[in-house]
Amino acid sequence: MSLTDLGEFGLIGRIRKRFPAPEGVTGIGDDCAVIPQRSGQDTLVSTDMLVEGTHFLRDRVSPFQLGWKSAAVNLSDIAAMGGQPTATFLSVALPPDLEADWMGEFLRGYAEISARFGAALLGGDTTASPDRICINVTVLGECPAGAARLRSAAQAGDLVCVTSTLGDSAAGLKAILEGVETDADIQALINRHYLPLPRVAEGLRLAATPGVHAMMDISDGIGSDLRHILEASGVGAVIDVPALPLSPALQRTCARLGWDAAALATGGGEDYELLFTCTPEAEKMLDVPHTVIGTVTERRSRIEPGMTDIEWRGAEGPVAGFDHFKRQSPV
């Protein structure tokens, strides 16, 4: 059955059935969702768009994986602030000839990860698209008033840390695009690309630790994402490239296929690990698995505006196309 046969309201009816609103909340079915406010909490809001051909290829990703990932990348933004996700809104533009089963699988992936992290789907919009699928998810979360961890909070003398291994997702994507024959390692890397796990519990614990300063999630690779923290905080950093945590699957795959692990770990995106800075004292107290990868430094005065001050120590070559002081791209 195609979406033309099911109709807009048939599809919304199915979504509504699959996502009942939690007790005390008005969800799908009215003009607005109604969410009671909790006093003493800040509301966190973020939104992300996924466009077929730009962010995914319909014949390379299963609808289950795409549903999972659409929610995951948004939940990760709440994790990056140190918040608890509460609700999502899902807007879709779909070609009318799309199979209703495709959307069913998409919703199954979306539901599975949403349930796992306690986020209720409370509304959205459904419309037709001439040929490409577009997906927009808005996520709401909460954190104690004033406790959100901002990119601008890094301080000279902080350690730079990440919650887990880097480069797996980029290696998984490379394997998919190059059609590399699948073994257990390749499958593990591909799963990290298609089924990322937002670090929500880790973000909450980090935000509750005094001395944890700036935080963000890694969606574009640390080579690019770390700059956002440094720019926002007006500081520089020294990164110890040999200290970057690499999974055994990535190390074995890079050794076998001659891929550059450091380039994948710094330049490749979509790891959805948390990148954060904290005082050395706080680092000793952390109850979240993490790796120290460098130090925040004072910004060197000779750095021109628009240039980022990162020294990649121990790199065998230029790191993923990033020089020490690469000018930031205009976009």
Q: Which residues bind ligand ADP (CB under 6 A)?
A: 12, 15, 28-31, 90-92, 121, 123-126
Partner whose binding site includes residue 12, from ligand ADP, Mg ion, none (CB under 5 to 8 Å by kind): ligand ADP
- String of b and e for 279-306 (b: at least 16 CB within 10 Å)? beebbeebebebbebbbbbebeeeeeee
Q: Measured in whole angstroms, how far is the alpha carbon of residue 231 from the centre of its chain?
A: 20
Q: Is 125 in the site for Mg ion (CB under 5 A)?
A: yes
Q: How far is the CB of 114 from ligand ADP (least distance, A)?
A: 11
Partner whose binding site includes residue 238, from Mg ion, ligand ADP, none (CB under 5 to 8 Å by kind): none
Between 89 and 272, CB nearer to ligand ADP: 89
Q: Contact at 8 Å (CB) between 254 and 260?
A: yes
Partner whose binding site includes residue 29, from Mg ion, ligand ADP, none (CB under 5 to 8 Å by kind): ligand ADP
Q: Which two tokens stand for residue 34?
A: 């109604």
Q: How far is the CB of 306 from ligand ADP (least distance, A)?
A: 40
Interface region with Mg ion, contact rule CB under 5 A, candidates 125-133, 219-227, 235-243, 294-302: 125-133
Give the β-pairing of 134-144 and 41-51. antiparallel
Between 79 and 90, CB nearer to ligand ADP: 90
CA-atom Rg of the chain in angstroms:
21
Q: Contact at 8 Å (CB) between 265 and 244?
A: yes
Handedness of CA 106, 109, 112, 116 (dihedral sign): negative
Partner whose binding site includes residue 90, from ligand ADP, Mg ion, none (CB under 5 to 8 Å by kind): ligand ADP
Which stretches of the chain bind Mg ion, using CB under 5 A? 125
